Amino acid sequence: MTAESMRSKVTLVNGLRGLMMVAAVALLFGCQGSPSSKPPIHLNPNMDDQEKYQPYEASKFFADGAAMRIPPAGTIARGELHEDVPYYTGFLRDTIYLEAAPVAVTMPELQRGQERFKIYCSPCHGRTGDGRGIMITRGYPPPPSYHDDRLRGEPDGYIFNVITNGIRNMPSYRHQIPVDDRWAIVLYLRALQRSHHATLDDVPVERRASLK
């Protein structure tokens, strides 16, 4: 090995050592100290600091100083045109309720209603609809049983309206439960009521032998 190649090798080794020391020092100082109160440096901020108004924020652009604007009269938000009044309210007209739910009774619909019932209704009304849910054991006023003659005789639209707007101690669930799911719950509730007052005539003929 010549003296020239030896010097090159030594220079390379020293350079690598220097880089390793710089990296070690940077790593050491990066793990030390307390959090800084200064905002982080954004090399590529993208949309982190976009110009926009937050809800209820003030604005100097409008005369009333509010950034949020009242929709023009007669306008309807996308998806909010509820032309089918009975479907969205449970009323046939004025104060007359729909007698029957305006949706088909299918197994998927009943299963969906059962799932939503267990989530939103059973804590107070109980899994069987007897009004003895777990909330009652925590001091909440007990609701009436779904199997009372009065509730069994109420039209489907009445139950839908109660889910939507609440009644007495029961709050409104219009924001938690979409319209489709409210009707699914109504269908499941009817099936639940019927199961508690069923007779042999309600059982399909081909299955009656298995009950005897």
The yes-or-no verdict on residue 10 having pLDDT over 70 is no
93: confidence class by pLDDT, cuts 50, 70, 90: confident
The pTM of the full predicted model, rounded to 2 decimals, is 0.65
pLDDT for position 3: 63
Report which of residues 207 and 23 the model is more confident about. Answer: 207
Which residues, 6+ apart, have CB-to-CB distance to 114 below 8 Å? 188
Q: What is the pLDDT of residues 169-194, one digit of tens each?
A: 899 999 999 999 999 999 999 999 98
